[in-house]
Amino acid sequence: MKVIELKMTVTDSNDRDAEALRRELSERGIFLVNLMSAPGSGKTTLLARTVKDLAGTVSIGVLEADIASDVDAVRMAELGAESVQVHTDGMCHMDAGMTRAGLEGMEGAGFEIAFLENVGNLICPAEFDTGAHRNVMLLSLPEGDDKPLKYPLMFQRSDALVITKMDAAPYFDFDLEAVKRRASALNPNIRIFPVSAKTGEGMAEWEAWLLSERENDRNA
Ligand SMILES: Nc1nc2c(ncn2[C@@H]2O[C@H](COP(=O)(O)OP(=O)(O)OP(=O)(O)O)[C@@H](O)[C@H]2O)c(=O)[nH]1
Ligand SMILES: [Mg+2]
CATH of the domain at 40: 3.40.50.300
pLDDT for 8 beyond 90? no
What is the per-residue pLDDT across 88-119, written as a single tens digit (0 to 9) for each? 989 999 999 999 999 998 866 678 999 999 99
Considering the chain, what is the average pLDDT of its residues? 93
Residue 131 has pLDDT above 90, yes or no: yes
pLDDT per position as a tens digit, 157-215:
999 999 999 999 999 999 999 999 999 999 999 999 999 999 999 999 999 999 999 99
Confidence of residue 120 (pLDDT cuts 50, 70, 90): very high
Distant-in-sequence, close-in-space partners of 212: CB < 8 Å, separation ≥ 6? none
Q: Which amino acid is at 6?
A: L
- For 208-214, the CB contacts below 8 A with 24+ separation are 209/160, 210/33, 210/50, 210/54, 210/113, 211/54, 211/57, 211/58, 213/31, 213/133, 213/134, 213/159, 214/31, 214/58, 214/112, 214/113, 214/133
Beta strands in the chain (DSSP E): 3-5, 31-36, 60-66, 82-87, 113-117, 134-140, 160-164, 191-194
State which residues form the domain around 109.
Answer: 3-7+16-218
The pLDDT of residue 125 is 95
For the Cβ of 165 lying below 6 angstroms from any atom of ligand 1, the answer is: yes
pLDDT one-digit tens code per residue, 56-87? 999 999 999 999 999 988 998 888 888 999 99
Residue whose CA lies nearest to ligand 1 atom number 25: 39
**pLDDT value of residue 11:** 61
B/e letters for 26-65, b = 16+ CB within 10 Å, e = fewer, are eeeebbbbbbbbbeebbbbbbbbbbbeebeeeebbbbbbb
pLDDT at res. 160: 98
- Residue 9 has a pLDDT of 62
Ligand nearest to the backbone CA of 38: 1
What pLDDT is recorded for position 107? 65
Question: How many structural domains does the chain have?
Answer: 1
CA of 42 to the centre of ligand 1 (A): 3
CA distances from 219 to 26, 33, 51, 71 (A): 11, 17, 24, 36
Indicate whether residue 40 lines ligand 1 (CB < 6 A): yes
